[in-house]
Amino acid sequence: MGRKIVVIGGVACGPKAACRVKRLDPSAEVVIVEKGEEISYGACGLPFYLEGEVPDVKDLTTTPVGVVRDVNFFKAVKGVDVLLNTEAVSIDRKKKEVTVRNVKDGAEEALPYDKLVIATGSSPVRPPIPGIDLEGIHCLKTLSDGVELKKAMEQAPGKNAVVVGAGLIGLECLEPLLKAGFNVHVVEKLPFALPALLDEEMAVPLMKHITSKGVMLHCGDGVASFEGDGRVQRVVTEKTEIAADLVLLAIGFRPNAGIAKDAGIDTGRMGIKVDAHLRTSDPDIYAGGDCVESYNLVTGRSIYAPMGSTANKHGRIIGDNLAGWNSTFLGVCGTGVCNILGFNVARTGITERDARNEGMEVLTSLCPAPDKPHYMKGSKLIHMKMVAEKHTGRLLGVQILGPGEVLSRIDTAAALLKSGATIDDCFETDMAYAPPFSPALDNLIVAANVIQNKRDGLVRAYTPAEVKEKLDRGEDFVFLDVRTPKELEQMRLPYENVIHIPLGMVRKKAQELPRDKEIICLCKISLRGYEAARILEAEGFNPGKVWLLDGGIVAWPYEKIVNM
């Protein structure tokens, strides 16, 4: 008989580790202990089950050919034993035993192990808000959560839904709620949506898109209480009251690290501490998935980054090492992607806000542009923000959002971040090009070019937020809008200090512009604005007074006159 390997947790990391070690070491005796009634399911597909795109919740438990990954499947195909409805309650490291309890009858037994894997995942955050235990308040984490929430959507006494938290889970559930006919409110304590993923200026286009679909956003507002007679009827926030027949609580997850901590295994604020081999402080115990801390490859610090993709990688590496291999997991870049009401959102690395909090000096670029050449049918806008370290040019992060294609670009950026690349490396990346897919210079390369220009002193740029602050302070400057008259009819800034000169006339009319004031050049996306700034410098204007509006009027999130 081979070594005894016990795996605690049966969703992503645990089954992956169990099956991997069994493939590499068939003699190993492997048992998975799972508290719930299902094993090896795709929890990230739950919003799409609610929406109806996944017709049956059981589809989230099947292989690509439709075979259900149940206890019999794991025994017959994988050679792994599975104990469902079985909770691991304690670990005795000296005896090398795990005490488990049947959740239905309470019976306990001790499982001996030679090696142990902790893959206990995470749990939804449920803060002690008055009324939080009222009927009608749901979380979304497990298959049973999904089934209960879908049933609740069908049987709710009214059509008022409140989503608490504008993070990934909450925003991904907007579509199923709207399709089910609910009036949807989102309450977010922080000032903007997806605050863990985006800078505020990038969140603004997303928030405008969400509200255009009829969702009511309450950002910068926290929940004070839930009220109702046995069942939730109202959400009382710090600023208002909202009628609620259904509440989705989606304010994040916490690592399930309690069993490890109780056993004396080193843990931190963000989960179980592991080394590059995913070993805990006990060399015979490994851990992975949502219950562990991750290492941020950009900052060099520990972070909490629960992702199904990472959990599966952890499982493979743990399985390798259980079989005697020498595999490592170096860390994550914080990469993520989602689709919110037809709006794609992606991020990798760190935001400008994160970088400045780390004490870094940064250069950034805002680059809204079509995802393929303008002459191609079906080209769609994407907003891109790139963040780089000022003195080294090291790429720190990229955010992309819009109806256009974002996945290939964010994956390319993630690969660059993993290698410690600079903006120059980004420019030199040999990205594929053909008009059906991208411009000749991909949006990612253009974003790097903008930062290169800033670094090399070819342009000075203000962000929209910086320009808005100048307006609010009453500073004396002028906007130079170099778009065509037709474009001005469609959209323009509503300020008295805007001068309109089409780009082709800037050289001829440059002398009409004031030389004693700052001139902030702009166009639709600031490509022509950059040309105008260079022309003014060539005409003898003080370079210190010629600036560019980053991202142009498309990225301007404040007042605009629109006649589309």
Catalytic residues: 44
- 382 and 371 in contact (C-beta within 8 Å)? yes
Sign of the Cα pseudo-torsion (83, 86, 92, 93, in order): positive
Q: Which amino acid is at 354?
A: D
CB-based contacts of 235-243 (< 8 A; 24+ apart in sequence): 235/162, 235/164, 235/185, 235/187, 237/187, 242/160, 242/162, 242/185, 242/187, 242/218, 243/158, 243/160
- How are the residues of the chain apportioned to helix, strand and coil, as percentages rounded to the nearest 5? 30, 25, 40
**Which residues make Cβ contacts (< 8 Å) with residue 409, sequence separation at least 6?**
346, 382, 384, 398, 400, 442, 443, 444
Contact 30, 5 (CB under 8 A): yes
Cα distance between residue 529 and residue 535, in whole Å:
10
Q: 115-118 and 285-287: which strand pairing?
A: parallel
CA distance 297 to 303: 10
Q: For residue 186, which amino acid is it?
A: V
Question: How far is Cα 556 from Cα 60, in angstroms, rounded to an integer?
Answer: 41
How far is the CA of 118 from the CAs of 252, 332, 453, 481, in angstroms?
Answer: 21, 20, 49, 59
In contact, 318 and 286? CB cutoff 8 Å = yes
∠ CA 273-276-278, nearest 5°, is 55
User: Which backbone phi and psi does 396 adopt, to 5 degrees?
Assistant: -110, -30
The distance of Cα 464 from the centroid of its chain, to the nearest Å, equals: 23
Question: Where does residue 163 rank: exposed (0-12), middle (13-18), buried (19+ CB within 10 A)?
Answer: buried
Contact 60, 45 (CB under 8 A): yes
DSSP label at residue 367: -
* Token pair recorded at residue 356: 């400045």
- What radius of gyration, in Å, describes the C-alpha atoms of the chain? 27
Q: Identify the three-state secondary structure at position 207.
A: helix
Q: DSSP readout, 62-129?
A: B-TTS-B-SHHHIIIII--EEETTEEEEEEETTTTEEEEEETTT--EEEEE-SEEEE---EEE-----
